[in-house]
């Protein structure tokens, strides 16, 4: 279902994505080519689009490189090879990509320069087990962590401990060449050690944050043209719990007003077999239930990379009649939330937000419109 307010929410979501576009944020932060070899490496959901931006900015320059991105998130490049691997759980292609990237930076000299392009998703896409750890070990740990509801900071610290390339180890492999990292942050707090599990982060590193959740929220706020309150860009915790909290806030607010927030919530699956859905649709379903059909509130929640969890939707939209339309179709909203099947709920209502890969990643975007 579409209406003017839903379309407004889609437009400001688009503004948030556009603000984090690699074509916009890579060129002004890219260093000049060095006197020796110029190598480009990278990993993450935005790695291919960042590589394409480097190629355009460095047209006519001699350089080479390799990056790895999620399946389906590639774009055409000429000099930089684009590999693809699995996300959010690594696979054999993730390990092969990590080994190829390490080979690419081997044997460099002081006059050489490495530009590392790091974005969310790098942890799974560039996976090299530490000594004594197997890829199967990493796969099992990743699956358990993703189902546990643990915050991304905890997950990435554990990933680092099990890795031979994360936690600054890739940076060490680039020495003695100059290393410059361009990073698009998808982690609450923008901690460089946690973005992609920090493969090129170490003390004193030339590490440049070129897009962040806060900058995207501010871009959406500017486009809104109304009273906006940014609740925070680093919100964590259970998606359903945050939905109830923000419903309380929205019900107490006087419109017209727009509430924006970012961060990365979690959904604790436990031992049950889940339905289809991600943290953004879970947040929205909880929000809709808590709002109880309030007549003046619309909301959108979506992942900035275009993929909410493992499904093909970025997120969804709720309207004042979401629960009424669901009831007319015989849908029990509370049951869908309980069984982690929020994607199926919004698919039945035709209220999913489907963008395809956005080729960037600054975490979740949530907007609540109070009229």
Segment 184-192 shows an average pLDDT of: 93
Whether residue 221 sits in one domain with residue 198: no
Q: What is the CATH number of the domain that holds 236?
A: 3.40.1480.10
User: Which of the listed ranges 118-132, 138-152, 217-231 does the model predict with the highest average pLDDT?
Assistant: 217-231
| Per-residue pLDDT tens digits for 243-255 | 999 999 999 999 8
Whether residue 361 sits in one domain with residue 320: yes
Q: Is the pLDDT of residue 52 over 90?
A: yes
| Per-residue pLDDT tens digits for 155-181 | 777 788 878 999 999 999 999 999 999
Q: Is the pLDDT of residue 357 over 50?
A: yes
Whether residue 230 sits in one domain with residue 175: no
Picking from 158, 187, 211, the residue at the C-terminal end of a domain is: 211
The answer to which of 50-64, 130-144, 216-230, 338-352 has the lowest mean pLDDT is 130-144
Whether residue 154 sits in one domain with residue 30: yes
Quick one: how far is CA 305 from the chain centroid? 5
pLDDT at res. 271: 66
Q: How many domains does the chain have?
A: 2
Q: Is the pLDDT of residue 139 over 90?
A: no
The per-residue pLDDT of the chain, averaged, comes to: 94
What is the pLDDT confidence band of residue 154, given thresholds at 50, 70 and 90?
confident
What is the CB-side half-sphere exposure of residue 23 using CA atoms within 13 A? 5
Whether residue 45 sits in one domain with residue 152: yes
What is the pLDDT confidence band of residue 138, given thresholds at 50, 70 and 90?
confident
Whether residue 240 sits in one domain with residue 183: no
This prediction has a pTM of 0.92
Picking from 211, 230, 255, the residue at the C-terminal end of a domain is: 211
List C-alpha distances in Å: 17 to 302, 305, 308, 314.
11, 8, 14, 12
Q: What is the CATH number of the domain that holds 105?
A: 3.40.50.10180
- d(Cα 134, Cα 125) in Å, to the nearest integer? 16
- Percentage of the residues of the chain whose pLDDT score is greater than 90: 84
Whether residue 71 sits in one domain with residue 9: no
Whether residue 220 sits in one domain with residue 175: no
What is the pLDDT confidence band of residue 132, given thresholds at 50, 70 and 90?
confident
**Sheet with strand 352-353: strands edge to edge:** 228-235, 257-263, 364-370, 297-303, 315-318, 352-353
pLDDT at res. 336: 96
Picking from 158, 193, 211, the residue at the C-terminal end of a domain is: 211
Structural domain including 192 reads 22-211
Whether residue 222 sits in one domain with residue 203: no
Whether residue 339 sits in one domain with residue 328: yes
Whether residue 225 sits in one domain with residue 182: no
What is the pLDDT confidence band of residue 39, given thresholds at 50, 70 and 90?
very high
How many beta carbons lie within 10 A of that of residue 296, not counting itself?
A: 16
pLDDT at res. 1: 42
């Amino acid at each position: 279902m579409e209406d003017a307010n839903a379309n407004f929410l889609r437009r400001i979501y688009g503004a948030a994505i556009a603000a984090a576009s690699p074509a916009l944020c890579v060129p002004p932060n890219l260093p000049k080519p060095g006197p020796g070899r110029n190598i480009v490496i990278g990993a993450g959901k935005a790695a291919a689009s960042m590589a394409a931006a480097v190629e355009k900015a460095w047209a006519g320059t001699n350089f080479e490189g390799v990056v790895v991105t999620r399946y389906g998130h590639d774009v055409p490049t000429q000099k930089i090879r684009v590999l693809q691997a699995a996300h959010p759980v690594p696979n054999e292609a993730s390990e092969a990509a990590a080994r190829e990237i390490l080979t690419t930076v081997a044997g460099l000299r002081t006059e050489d320069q490495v530009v590392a392009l790091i974005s969310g998703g790098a942890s799974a896409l560039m996976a090299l087990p530490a000594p004594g750890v197997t890829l199967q070990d990493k796969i099992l740990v990743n699956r358990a962590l993703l189902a546990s509801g643990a915050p991304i900071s905890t997950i990435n610290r554990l990933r680092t401990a099990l890795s031979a390339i994360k936690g600054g180890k890739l940076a060490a492999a680039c020495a003695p060449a100059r290393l410059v990292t361009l990073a698009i942050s998808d982690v609450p707090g923008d901690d460089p050690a946690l973005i992609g599990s920090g493969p090129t982060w170490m003390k004193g590193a030339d590490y440049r944050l070129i897009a962040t959740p806060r900058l995207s929220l501010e871009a959406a706020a500017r486009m809104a043209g109304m009273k906006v309150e940014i609740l925070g860009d680093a919100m964590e915790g259970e998606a359903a719990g945050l939905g109830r909290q923000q419903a309380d806030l929205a019900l107490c607010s006087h419109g017209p007003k727009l509430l924006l927030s970012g961060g990365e919530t979690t959904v604790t699956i436990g031992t049950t077999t889940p339905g289809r859905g991600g943290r953004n649709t879970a947040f929205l379903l909880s929000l809709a239930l808590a709002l109880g059909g309030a007549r003046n509130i619309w909301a959108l929640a979506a992942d900035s990379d275009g993929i909410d969890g493992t499904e093909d939707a970025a997120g969804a939209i709720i309207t004042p009649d979401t629960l009424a339309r669901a009831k007319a179709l015989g849908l029990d909203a509370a049951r869908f939330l309980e069984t982690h099947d929020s994607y199926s709920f919004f698919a039945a209502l035709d209220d999913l937000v489907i963008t395809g890969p956005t080729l960037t990643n600054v975490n979740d975007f949530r907007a609540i419109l109070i009229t």
